Amino acid sequence: MKPLGLGWPNLVSILRAALVPVIVVLILAEQRAAMALAAILFVVGALTDGLDGYLARRHGMTTTMGQWLDPLSDKLFVSAPMVTLTLLGRFPVWAAVVILAREIAVSGLRWYLGSRRESMPASNLAKWKTGSQIVVVTMYLLPLNGVAVDVRSVALWVSVVLTVASGLDYFLRYLLRARRRVAPLP
């Protein structure tokens, strides 16, 4: 079944992306209830992250559109709230810069590979990275205090390390593939 001619997996990705402006507006309200609702919507949207891929594989609905829509939706879903929190002074600028730089670099690599009709599927490390970013953004949406602030700081560092490591992993895998293509035959 293909609702709106898109298929369920693509519709789930589109709905996740559609939550982004709602979450951003709630963050901009800078009110406790709005931030709580933003956190709830963020977690609900995050839970759909694996759903679209599962539906696509389970029902044989993998599409070219879905292959670029899902990662784009994921990046918007994490980046927009993070940038909004950063602009409000509620998320560390240094961490946002590292995370966004990685996302831009990997997106550029994927775009380049796509232009050559190649792909690089998400690694397990990249999935851990996404999960850690979701946890961190959720923690920054919540009004934490006491020891929870320390836990949030540790979670942020873990997320940044995973972000950098997964970015390096993508580029190293690309370089190894490229090297194998040009290696002389024995």
Residue 60 has pLDDT above 70, yes or no: no
Q: For 24-48, what is the mean pLDDT?
A: 94
Q: Which domains are assigned to the chain? A: 3-182 (1.20.120.1760)
Helix (H, G, I), strand (E, B) or coil at 57: helix
What percent of the chain has pLDDT above 70? 84
| Chain-centroid distance, C-alpha 160 | 13
pLDDT, tens digit (0-9, with 9 covering 90-100), for 123-141: 899 889 999 999 999 999 9
Task: Look at residue 7 and tell me whether its pLDDT is greater than 80.
Answer: no
Looking at every residue in the chain, the average pLDDT score rounds to 86
Report the chain's C-alpha Rg in angstroms.
18
pLDDT at 3: 46
pLDDT higher than 90, residue 4? no
The pTM for the full model equals: 0.86
Q: What is the DSSP string of 88-153?
A: TT-S-HHHHHHHHHHHHHHHHHHHHHHHTT---PPPHHHHHHHHHHHHHHHHHHS---THHHHHHH
Residue 114 pLDDT = 79
